[in-house]
Amino acid sequence: MFAPKDVEKPIVPVRLDLDSTICFSCDRDLACFTRCCHNNNTYLTPYDVIRIKKRLDMPSDELLLRFTVPGKIEASDLPVPMVKLDPERDNACPFLGEDGCSIYEDRPVACRYYPVAAGLFHNADISDNERFFALVKEGYCLGHDLGTEMTIAEWREKQGIPPYDEYNKGWVELILRRKSLGPFVTIPEKTLDMFFMASYNLDAFRRFVLYSPFLNIYEIPGDRLEKIREDDIELLNLGYDWLMTTLFGAGKLKIIEHIATADSIEVD
């Protein structure tokens, strides 16, 4: 999720669960303050993009073009936007200001979790996925063993993580399903473009839904259609349903019968 490169010591993962306790505090008086904002690999989740584009008051197209570079989700060919570092400022995060993070209230979920890394095991035989965590200790970080001891569950609440995990849930399920197909299944480039647009470039996806043949192919109730015109979360959930339907045949969206055999619509 978040792996700075310039470390004096290797990262030491310690597996945790929601009841495990950590003791960590990040303070501007520490000598390492903002060092984790340099030379890192931070990807943006769908809800990260929603929060940041609203914070900066810019469309998702512009945000992705100006502040990200293409990446791939680990053990998958699925695309993900990575935060573009600034080489003129020692590879700093573009959102790093003189006093720290300039978008702190809307910072990415990877930054919120730090120094905790989060993951999921996909369990095909039960109704839920197994959540796990790991404590990341890096040689330069002086925040460990400072502050008040708290559980991972309490840390998540303090950092404002629950809505991120909630709104990214459909995206995580898509990733797990893709990984379950194995590395020998190839996904066409156009399908990867679909995934990127519906997951991250919501303004482009909204135009796609409203002004392409999309609504002639998929049956979208009027009340849902009205919501997606203005509500990015509703639009994101529609994107999840569309991807589950088109990529994995999950039937989340109903196809209008008289065009059920029509050619697929094009993604610009």
- pLDDT for 2-18, tens place per residue? 334 444 454 556 678 99
- pLDDT for 146-180, tens place per residue? 999 999 999 999 999 999 999 999 999 999 999 99
Cα angle vertex 152, ends 128, 130, to 5°? 15
Map tokens 């680990």 to a residue: 74
Kind plus residue range of the DSSP H or E element containing 112: helix 109-113
Kind plus residue range of the DSSP H or E element containing 165: helix 162-167
Contact 55, 106 (CB under 8 A): yes
Q: 10 Å Cβ neighbour count for 68?
A: 20
Q: What is the pLDDT along the chain (268 residues), one digit of tens a residue?
A: 333 444 445 455 667 899 999 999 998 899 999 999 999 999 999 999 999 999 999 999 999 999 999 999 988 899 999 999 999 999 999 999 989 999 999 999 999 999 999 876 555 444 455 678 999 888 899 999 999 999 999 999 999 999 999 999 999 999 999 999 888 888 999 999 999 999 999 999 999 999 999 999 999 999 999 999 999 999 999 999 999 999 999 989 999 976 555 455 556 6
Q: List the domain boundaries for the chain.
A: 14-172, 187-259
Q: Spell out the residues 6+ positions from residue 125 whose beta carbon is closer than 8 angstroms to its own.
A: none
Kind plus residue range of the DSSP H or E element containing 120: strand 116-121
DSSP 129-159: PEEEEEE---TT---BT-S--EEHHHHHHHT
- pLDDT for 31-42, tens place per residue? 999 999 999 999
Q: Which of 110, 150, 117 is nearest to 131 (CA)?
A: 117
